[in-house]
Structure 1
Amino acid sequence: MERQIYLENKAWQEGLALMMEKLAGRCIPKNELVDVRLSLHRITGTIIRAKRSSPHFAASAMDGYAIRAKDTHGLSEREPRWLELGVQAIQVDTGDPIPEGMDAVVMLEDVLELGERGILLQAPVVPWNNVRPVGEDIVEGEVLLPIHHRIRPQDQGALLAAGVLKVEVRCKPKVGILPTGDEIRPPEALLQVGDIVDSNSTVLASLVEEWGGSATIWPITPDQPKQLEEAILKMAASQDILVIIAGSSQGRDDYTSQMIEKHGTLYLHGVAIKPGKPVALGEVQGKPTVGIPGYPVSSFLTAHLFLEP
């Protein structure tokens, strides 16, 4: 395979903007339905609305006694009044439904005396005092989460409280990571002089998972055009995004940019950053493709600049 040398020197912002422009309208995310209890850190694929109010019944906000507010009109320290238990005053705990006919709750601390006659009060109470009305936290039909929102633990709680058991989220992009190089060895290998451990694949895979994707590390592939070509095409057939580690510079065994150009489009080869200059941006069979330099710091930096977006 004839080797071509072309290494540009554009600003990384320009390179990113070019890649996004080329991919605009083509890489459309898909949605899937998942159980809310398994939705942590997933990205919402649509606006999510409440299916029921919370609370869905009038509830006591305090431990005390449910009463009718009108039964306390005119009370004062000089004119306290007994309310009959079970008739005019019904004991409730926080969260209990308000008994039918009652419209307020007196806190235990506000009861002057508890006896056989009932409870003795010395201050008037207004309607709905210490009562949580229907929909105080969430109203049926209201927007709970916007689209493109990363679901947090508190979001899961709100969704479940609002009767949402399944949520529509973005499918995780499948990211294929291909480590390349004659000198690259798996971490468990016994190293010889000149061998280099493949740490980049694990770092990149973890970053992908952290960013909301699903990473697959492909077998280490030597710097042989035919083998590289087969591996890249195999990856393109099953993955949404392709990452090719190393082979993006201009050495005698660097073929990444040529492979991208041969089976797709090379948007850019080389940006004005150090480390990370040899990054290659393009697409292979319509799949966004990033050729990432093999030096670990370059790999980490260029992944943040071009793969994460």
Structure 2
Amino acid sequence: MGCCDAPGLMPIEDAMEKMLSRIQPIQTTQRLPLPDALGYVLAEDILSPINVPPFDNSAMDGYAVRRSELALGQPLTVAGKSFAGQPFDGEWPAMSCVRIMTGAQIPPGCDAVVMQEQASVTNAGVTFSVRDVPHNDNIRPTGDDIHHNDVVLSRGARLTPRDIPMIATLGVSQITVYQKPKVAFFSTGDELKPLGEPLQAGQIYDSNRYGIKPLIENFGCEAIDLGAIPDCPQTLKATFEKAQSLADVVVTSGGVSVGEADYTKDILEQLGEIGFWKLAIKPGKPFAFGSLQNAWFCGLPGNPVSAVLTMYVLVQPMLAKLAGHTEWQAPQSIPATTRTTFKKAPGRTDYQRGIYSIENGQFFVETTGNQSSGAFRSMSLANCFVVLERERGRVEAGETVNIQLFNATLY
């Protein structure tokens, strides 16, 4: 342990290594229609069965010409038309051109397309303001975008809204994907009240599930909401048993600290085992990881910011590996200059909420204000995390820090 390490707290780098070393990707696959595959992870490479485009086509509205005839500078008669889906298939006499539209197939013998802005239609035919154009000018050749048998997407890629139309251009209607991990989640605590009901003394609304569910879905997993469970050991144990029968991963919020009514840790020891508990991270110290008989377990802290932060920083990479998403990458760290102070004591890696801006190519960051783990408004205002190293103390304005811009899962 270093001089600034918190006694009894595991560094998050060690926790991540221990967690990921135990996770094996789900191998179950399924065949899906392309429109239903968004967000799934590919279980096989996508090879193109065709060239894209499948034929030489025009990049412009204009006239298909033979350059040797264009160079003569004489009017060319119009032999016919080539439209998208309706190629020219007639006879193409000498000293003539073909009217062509963008995307239309290039007639055999054409070696350039002159855009219509460089052409004038007269009684004598079409005259052009240019005589010398490059070979294959304004012609998109066969396979210009994708060649037959090219690997367009690799196994392990998670399908995005940009990927679906690209696969569609190949004429591929069904693809093989990995089954999405199923994640059952619930909140614990007698103090939790459903939304829409009045609060009684000592009660709060159960907000954590409303942050956890969209994150699970944004991570590319299937979310199973089991509700809010009171602090009753029997009910909690029954809920854990139900959860592990439904899901690959069980996620709870609350119940993993040291309070007298925090039963989650005790029940986990009965039903499975704890891999680690208590991390050198702020907020989120009482994060727990382990296994049940039939599922993995992640116990999030009960404070709202801590729950979302640990889902984002710790659970996200675990679920990515479980899903077989080999192309997943952790958010990139970017150096930024502080415009405000950031309070910090050495001992834990601190993820503070910040607002970054860019001026003349330089990143600047300022605090969102209240950094309490129960103050979620500061999370709502933020667009990045300011990641302060374990050994670091108070940060003054003008110092350099590392920030992590929120990735798509938090937007």
Scaled by the length of structure 1, the TM-score of the pair is: 0.86
- AA aligned to 2:18 is L
1:165-244 correspondence runs (5 A):
165-244=173-252
Q: Report how far residue 226 of structure 1 moved.
A: 1.6
2:131 equivalent to 1:123: yes
Aligned twin of 1:48: 46
Partner secondary structure for residue 291 of structure 2:
strand
Aligned twin of 1:95: 103
Q: Please state which structure has a larger fraction of its residues in strand.
A: 2
> 1:52 & 1:197 partners in 2: Cα distance?
55
Q: Report how far residue 170 of structure 1 moved.
A: 3.3
- AA aligned to 2:172 is V
2:74 equivalent to 1:81: yes
> 2:307 & 2:114 partners in 1: Cα distance?
65
Q: Report how far residue 126 of structure 1 moved.
A: 5.1
> 1:268 & 1:213 partners in 2: Cα distance?
24
- AA aligned to 1:289 is F
2:245–2:294 contact (8 Å) kept in structure 1: no
2:26–2:181 contact (8 Å) kept in structure 1: no
1:270-281 correspondence runs (5 A):
270-281=278-289
Aligned-residue CA RMSD in angstroms? Answer: 2.3
2:301 equivalent to 1:293: yes
Aligned twin of 1:11: 11
- Unmatched runs of 5 consecutive residues or more in structure 2: 1-6, 80-92, 318-411
Partner secondary structure for residue 281 of structure 2:
coil
> 2:163 & 2:145 partners in 1: Cα distance?
13
Q: Report how far residue 52 of structure 1 moved.
A: 1.6
> 2:110 & 2:306 partners in 1: Cα distance?
69
Structure 2 vs 1, CA of residues 66 and 262 (structure 1 numbering), >3 Å: closer, same or farther? same
Aligned twin of 1:160: 168
Aligned twin of 2:321: none
Scaled by the length of structure 2, the TM-score of the pair is: 0.66
Deviations 1:154-190 (A, max 9, x none): 3222221122223333332211112112222212232
2:113 equivalent to 1:105: yes
Partner secondary structure for residue 308 of structure 1:
helix
Deviations 1:136-164 (A, max 9, x none): 11212111122332333332222211222
Range with greater deviation from structure 2 (44-53 or 283-292): 44-53
Higher Rg: 1
Deviations 1:241-267 (A, max 9, x none): 101221111222222122222212211
- AA aligned to 2:15 is G
Aligned twin of 1:250: 258
1:122-161 correspondence runs (5 A):
123-125=131-133, 127-161=135-169
- Unmatched runs of 5 consecutive residues or more in structure 1: 1-6
> 2:21 & 2:304 partners in 1: Cα distance?
28
Aligned twin of 2:320: none
User: Aligned pair count?
Assistant: 295
Aligned twin of 1:3: none
Structure 2 vs 1, CA of residues 215 and 125 (structure 1 numbering), >3 Å: closer, same or farther? same
Q: Report how far residue 235 of structure 1 moved.
A: 0.6
